[in-house]
Structure 1
């Protein structure tokens, strides 16, 4: 197969196929989590991020690759979840910037777009780490550049890109020791490989994705076209945009029925239809042919189709009537908005000087944050990372002159930081990685200070707290010479698994002992939905009885994933 010019239709189809392949492998990607904790969500984050991009892409009706890729990149940016999702959004942002002025892509443009994606992703990361999705993206692009020296066939180049990504993924354990220790490849890299594999399958005609077709309808392999009707967005803006008024679709079963007059020939049929209207699309296989056309004579289109077989599906929409209805709806909506605006204008909208938005999971944790001055709690955390768009909506909701974001999870920091370029409101992101760090940051907040002064003070105060968590192991593994058995309870301190114990209370006591230092004064135990309040209070009493200078507070947090969240100050 040979493809020397990639159209917007090709681009849309291959991205949808890439999304499909990624979705099919979400659980596999999640299972590649290095730590055996029940929070492996790389696949979920990448999938939700890419689905956001595909949704925006489908809304963009264009024959321009640059415009289509821009829509995809915008959707990815707004939907980015977790570090893997943010990096993925940057890869395709760079891809989009490289081809923004291109109506279609030749082989050189195609390779340049992958190289641009790598450059954008590396620039976005303050400290790039090899053995990750970055390595996979870079090596894939390098393979594409080398293949370009020998061919201008985009399909062959994409095959090399996939091979490069696959080989790079296999090498990630050699570059990142923790992967080799646990015996897995990088999960983000695996997700990117899945996307690239889907893109290649689409270009080779091996993975044709139809959207919103009725169940039971036969899949149609595309000939002379790489699109299906369901990719088309019928969106006439006004009467002036309509030359032919009836959006007409037919499906014909070739060679069947009493009206058959001639054998079907794709080229002559399409050439004839091209004189009957515009927005023409014809796809077929050996048994069926589907037609989409804007025409003034739907009946004639049906008759032409019947010359080759029987009509098994007909759809005709009067686009002029649709425009009339849309204009009426828009006018009604405008009147409603004007009325609402007039009512709202009588109420003064005063921005508050500061708003602090924190990410937290669990009703009790959210209540705790509100009690110490958090303006808005954005639900999320492990296994449910909020997207960049979620942050943007929260920022709009709080209506403040200055915003401080507390991600409270290392996998959410990048998504929070992306909001800075998307909002006109001054924003500071304090890089909190845990709930205790979020609380410590709030202790240093001063409404009389500037945004930068608050960020500096709040960030500096993170060192005043040691964070810990208790959760269970989802598999047997060995990390840093620590033997961990499935379903045992693990103690995690400052992001490192330090112990494993089959008894929850014993794991809690041992972890707290590791966290406590000579100058520790306050211990906090936040009890999760799977934790035990009575057991936590018992441990707290014993700690205070054995340590005169220690005060222990037990809070019902109701958080998922972690039986207990711990802090020592």
Structure 2
């Protein structure tokens, strides 16, 4: 029987090899993690997100020229933070962040220090999540750290501590379905927790090799994300506007939502351009948002009424607001927010926001002209960043006033770095982010903390919620007021998705076969069938209520335009009391996105 191998101390070189092997083991088992999706939909990407997060950590560690343990773990913390994708990736980055805090200033560590740093990592991760959910990677990491600490109090052997950590974590992983009913119904364990266990196994293998004096040569050959530095987290603040002469030419700020069929937005813009300034007309042929400063709000509303029904009418007396600001010494801020050049107004008055063709209604974004994006012609207090999958959806969001669209969605979550860069590209010092996916919310919240700008995250989880939030956006309102109104607006939307099942699954009364079409309403699978159009109809029968007025359909890249038009025509017959709006979303994997208002 051979001599027992022990490892008493960890230095920077050993820890680097441990992290590197952790990434390798995770990469080898990425698909096994990805497949552990609660729903059988084609967006299981937890393993991929965790791999990309760890790659970013290793990439940053490779820049450190020394073998300083403290410098290496700080680099891993930075790299994982900026490269974090998805909820599990963000939580993993927070575990590494806390771990790095616990090792700050250290050149080597013993078993107890290693375990204590893991405890700090868990505490940091829990604090990063507004509402921690048990039965997830959080639970597994907590039990891992607890197992490590208990063993470290008994022995100074780091290998024994890692063995205890892995054993505790695997036991916790088995019981995640007992803590999270949705896992039990799907018959799976938590994907993030599983990925974390694979990383730990890699750490243990590398530590064992170090104890046996087996150095792991080379570095991962897989492509890694480009160099990341904290420079991208420094925003460029815009220069203060010139002093105002305190004269308000137009007394009333008028806002209204216009709903109708084939709304002539260019004509509406031309009609309103003569009535005031700060004109903004954005939207689609079925719904448009109008903003105008005028001395005759009644005439503004009359012009809008010619083309459709009026909703959410808002008229503010800016003279009274100005007087109140003047008395409180804040008049300069008001003047800045309301300033707009006559040249910009003239350009806006001549610019169309939609084409005549319903299928090509958002192609105006392809025009190579500064005037193509109407929302950029008005001085905004608050900028907007949104995440979208599909060119069509991106154009729709831009038409509703979004300044920066970040590519991403179900199958490829953007990194925190991607979101930080988008925030900093927006010219305003205040920004609202619409993540539009439950797996991107946490990354958006972390990105908001990394910039000098003031940022709020409206936690939209679908395109329908995003559009409802954008309709509630007020060009003249403050960041906080817009956040509250957009949050309330997002909660009024009902969301639906139609996609295909990637595996067999039994949920409640549904026996879902692999590759069968499924309909999801507000996060719950409601319908399964063979034909996407029929699934849409069946799903809407469960979603639409008596008070609903509008059904909006966004068809994906795999749906032909004529198929979508036939579906829209059929829905007009099935739901005669609702307006049916049809848009090309171009989203991958999902045949249809649905919004009901």
**TM bracket, shorter-chain basis:** 0.7 to 0.9
The one of 97, 102, 118 aligned to 2:106: 102
Partner Cα separation in structure 2 for residue 187 and residue 533 of structure 1: 37
Q: Structure 1 CA distance, aligned partners of 2:556 and 2:68?
A: 51
The aligned counterpart of 1:296 is: none
Instruction: Give structure 1 stretches of 5+ with no counterpart.
Output: 215-349
Residue of structure 2 equivalent to 1:12: 16
Compute the displacement of 1:532 (Å).
Answer: 3.8
**Is residue 190 from structure 1 mapped to residue 194 from structure 2 by the alignment?**
yes
Contact 1:351 1:401 survives alignment (8 Å): no
What's the counterpart of residue 400 of structure 2? 372
**Are the aligned partners of 1:352 and 1:401 in contact in 2 as well (CA < 8 Å)?**
no
Shift of 1:213: 9.8
State the shift of 1:127 in Å. 1.7
Residue 537 (structure 1) aligns with: 565
1:361-394 per-residue CA deviation (whole Å, 9 max, x = no partner) reads: 1111111111111111110001110000001111
Question: Which range moves more in the overlay, 361-370 or 534-543?
Answer: 534-543
User: Residue 106 of structure 2: SS of its match in structure 1?
Assistant: coil
Structure 1 partner of 2:64: 60
Taking a change above 3 Å as real, the CA distance of residues 351 and 64 of structure 1, as seen in their structure-2 partners, is farther
Counterpart Cα distance in 1 of 2:563 and 2:494: 22
1:543 CA drift (Å): 2.6
SS of the residue corresponding to residue 492 of structure 1 reads strand
User: What does residue 211 of structure 1 align with?
Assistant: 218
The within-5 A match list for 1:289-328 is: none
**1:449 and 2:477 are equivalent in the alignment:** yes
Aligned counterparts of 2:551 and 2:14: Cα–Cα separation in 1: 58
Distance 1:503 1:420 in 2: 41
Q: What is residue 23 of structure 1 aligned with on the other side? A: 27
CA distance in structure 1 between the partners assigned to 2:551 and 2:565 by the alignment: 12
2:413 aligned counterpart, secondary structure: coil
Give the drift of 1:108: 1.4
1:249-288 alignment to 2 at 5 Å? none
Cα 1:212–1:413 shift into 2, 3 Å: closer
Counterpart residue number, 1:463: 491
What SS is found at the alignment partner of 1:122? helix
Counting only pairs closer than 5 Å after superposition, residues 158-197 of structure 1 correspond to structure 2 as 158-197=162-201
> 2:512: which partner in 1?
484
List aligned pairs for 1:148-159, cutoff 5 A. Answer: 148-159=152-163
**d(CA) in 2 for partners of 1:424 and 1:553?**
39
Question: Which stretch has the larger CA shift, 51-60 or 119-128?
Answer: 119-128
Name the structure 2 match of 1:413. 441
The residue matched to 2:62 in structure 1 has which SS? Answer: helix
Structure-2 change in CA distance of 1:82 and 1:213 (3 Å): closer
Partner of 1:340: none
| Residues 535 and 92 of structure 1: CA distance in aligned 2, closer, same or farther (over 3 Å) | same
Work out the CA distance in 2 between the residues paired with 1:525 and 1:429. Answer: 25
Question: Is the contact between residue 405 and residue 416 of structure 1 (CA under 8 Å) also seen in structure 2?
Answer: yes
Whole-angstrom distance in 1 between the partners of 2:576 and 2:590: 28
1:558 to 559, 581, 586: 586
Report the CA distance between 1:410 and its aligned residue.
Answer: 0.6
Distance 1:185 1:392 in 2: 32
* 2:428 match: 400
Contact 2:112 2:153 in 1 (8 A): no
Query: Following TM superposition, by how much is the alpha carbon of 1:546 offset from its aligned partner in structure 2, in angstroms?
Result: 4.2
TM-score (structure 2 length as normaliser):
0.71
Which residue in the other structure is 1:429 paired with?
457
Spell out, residue by residue over 1:71-104, the C-alpha distance to the aligned partner (whole angstroms, 9 max, x if none): 1011011011000101111111111111112121
User: Which residue of the partner structure matches residue 77 of structure 2?
Assistant: 73
Work out the CA distance in 1 between the residues paired with 2:440 and 2:215.
34
1:208 positional shift: 5.3
Q: Is the 8 A contact 2:420 2:448 kept in 1?
A: no
Task: Classify the secondary structure of the residue corresponding to 1:423.
Answer: coil
Q: Which runs of 5+ in 2 are unaligned?
A: 222-377
User: How far did 1:476 drift?
Assistant: 1.0
What does the per-residue CA deviation read over 1:287-329, in whole Å, with 9 as the maximum and x for residues that have no partner?
Answer: xxxxxxxxxxxxxxxxxxxxxxxxxxxxxxxxxxxxxxxxxxx
Q: How many pairs align?
A: 434
Confirm or deny that 1:528 pairs with 2:556: yes
Shift, 1:352, TM fit: 5.7
Q: Hey, what's the Cα distance between the residues in 1 that align with 2:574 and 2:50?
A: 47
Matched residues in 1 for 2:575 and 2:131: separation? 41
- Residue aligning to 1:513: 541
User: What is the CA-CA distance between 1:351 and the residue it aligns to?
Assistant: 8.9
Answer yes or no: is 1:549 the counterpart of 2:577.
yes
Structure possessing the higher radius of gyration over alpha carbons: 1
RMSD in angstroms over aligned alpha carbons? 1.7
Residues 208 and 42 of structure 1, relative CA distance in 2, 3 Å threshold: farther
Write the deviation string for residues 229-255 of structure 1: whole angstroms up to 9, x where unpaired. xxxxxxxxxxxxxxxxxxxxxxxxxxx
2: CA distance, partners of 1:481 / 1:458: 36
Mapped partners of 2:220, 2:459: distance in 1: 45
Checking the alignment, whether the CA contact within 8 Å between 2:382 and 2:478 is kept in structure 1 is: no
Equivalent-residue separation in structure 2 for 1:546 and 1:153 (angstroms)? 70
3-state DSSP of counterpart to 1:374: coil
| Residues 445, 213 of structure 1: alpha-carbon distance in 2 compared, 3 angstrom cutoff | closer
